[in-house]
Chains A and B, each alone.
Chain A
Amino acid sequence: MERIKTFFHRLFIPHEENNFRAKSLHTDFLTVYLVVAFLMMIAFKQGSIHNVLGFATDISVEKLAQLTNEQRQKNNLPPLSVNSALSLAAQKKAENMFQENYWSHYSPEGKTPWDFILGAGYKYEFAGENLAKNFLFSSGVVDAWMNSPTHRENLLKKDYTEVGYAIVNGILNGEQTTLVVQEFGKPIDSSFAPPSVQASEITQNVGAVPAVKPIIEKRSEQIVEQKAVQPKINPLNFTFNLNIIFMVFLLLALVLDFYFASKFNVLRIAGKNTAHILFIVFILIGLFMSTIGAII
């Protein structure tokens, strides 16, 4: 017990034995942290290149569907069931965005979300699309959609009964990107007569739109429900938590060192703990902000 006490005393409290600076903040300790951080960075990069670690996000179709339905249930709306044709449409849309290198609801060649939905053999009465990129966690995606009026409208539209998702990694505008595509729909029921004249086209953010196109022949494509391969421990989630633990450890060491050094009026050659604390606090806030991607 005494040895543990001495160990922590040396690690965090500035006194004669650690040259009046918490051992955990000594240059040799900081060098060890640097080497570990560098090795982690290399290992993660290698893992991503060889696809050993799986997706560089912790987003899954199951979680997105669960969170979307939770939001609908909170608003007294029926849950949406995952439809494989809509998932295929979402997958094709994401692939097309990578192929043609665009971040929009409409492709440079003029393809609309409805082209992908109809192309997947889904005959709709109502349909809509939400897009997101570079989020780290499923909850961040759904929260961002809920905070945007147009996306929220899609999520909570009572006309929709089904949904499809795709989470696809690729290179967009020269950078590694994780795209999330969410396609909503309500299948046309057999008694519904499709309009013979096209209704007005939508102009802005894609929201729910009525069926505006002639219904195409249903294709006999084999549709496999898109599902992200999720390892038991997601490496990104693990690294994210490790980063937070390490920064909190560093903050604790800096705060204790600052407190005891000022209490004992210790004069020493060292960096300013207050500056280090401020820097790490800003970085921690930035770390949480970097989990949030972009939506359209």
Chain B
Amino acid sequence: MAKHFYSSLKKEFKNHLLDYLLLITAGIFFLILLNTFRGQRIIEFFVLVSFAFFYIVWGVFHHIVNETLHLKTVVEYILIAFIIIFLLKIIILP
């Protein structure tokens, strides 16, 4: 199972290398900013919201490029991003 999972993952990353590099870079940038503004809750929350919005834009962009954009897909990215924002709001800005 692990072998098949790994090869599928590798194939996916290889097919869309630039897109995933962009997402990973944004993720690393998000963690660096969180670390830089440690203890400053409002800025931490702003960083989280920015990353979540970037993720939605990334999703739309990725599916436009691959000609697989559909309303259902966009809604899926928006829902996941907002679930995360609401959940982390409780921790970051109680």
Contacts and interface: CB of A to CB of B under 8 A. Distances in A.
A37 B72 contact: no
Q: By CB atoms of chain A within 10 A, which of B35, B39, B48 has the most?
A: B39
Interface of A: 25, 27, 30-31, 33-34, 37-38, 40-41, 44-45, 48, 56, 133-136, 174-177, 236, 239-240, 243, 246-247, 250, 255, 258-259, 262-263, 269-272, 274-276, 278-283, 285-287, 289-294
A282 B11 CA distance: 21
Interface of B: 1, 4-5, 8-9, 11-13, 20, 23-24, 27, 30-31, 34-35, 38-42, 44, 48, 51, 55, 58-59, 62-63, 68, 70, 72-73, 75-77, 79-84, 86-94
A243 B4 contact: no
Contacts of A135: 39
Contacts of B58: 275
Contact of A275 (B11, B62, B83, B94): B62
15 contacts: A34-B79, A41-B86, A41-B89, A134-B41, A136-B91, A174-B42, A175-B41, A243-B87, A243-B88, A270-B76, A282-B27, A282-B30, A285-B31, A287-B88, A290-B92
A41 B90 contact: yes
Contacts of A34: 79, 82-83, 86
Q: By CB atoms of chain A within 10 A, which of B34, B55, B84 has the most?
A: B84
Nearest to A272: B62
Contact of A270 (B27, B48, B73, B93): B73
Nearest to B9: A274
Contacts of B55: 275, 279
A33 to B, nearest CB: 5
Contacts of B90: 40-41, 44, 236, 239, 243
B1 A27 contact: no
Contact of B83 (A30, A176, A177, A294): A30
Given A270-B76, A275-B23, A286-B48, A37 B34 contact: no
Nearest to A177: B41
Contacts of B87: 37, 40-41, 243, 246-247
Contacts of B82: 34, 37
Contact of B34 (A136, A255, A289): A289
Contact of A274 (B13, B30, B42): B13
A236 B89 CA distance: 12
Chain B binding site: helix, strand, loop or mixed by DSSP?
helix
A27 B90 CA distance: 23
B18 to A, nearest CB: 13
Given A262-B8, A271-B59, 19 more contacts: A34-B83, A37-B83, A38-B86, A41-B86, A44-B94, A48-B94, A133-B39, A258-B5, A259-B4, A262-B4, A269-B73, A270-B73, A274-B12, A278-B20, A278-B24, A286-B31, A287-B91, A289-B34, A289-B35
Contacts of B30: 282, 286
A37 B86 contact: yes
B5 A259 contact: yes
A27 B42 contact: no
Contact of B76 (A262, A271, A291, A292): A271
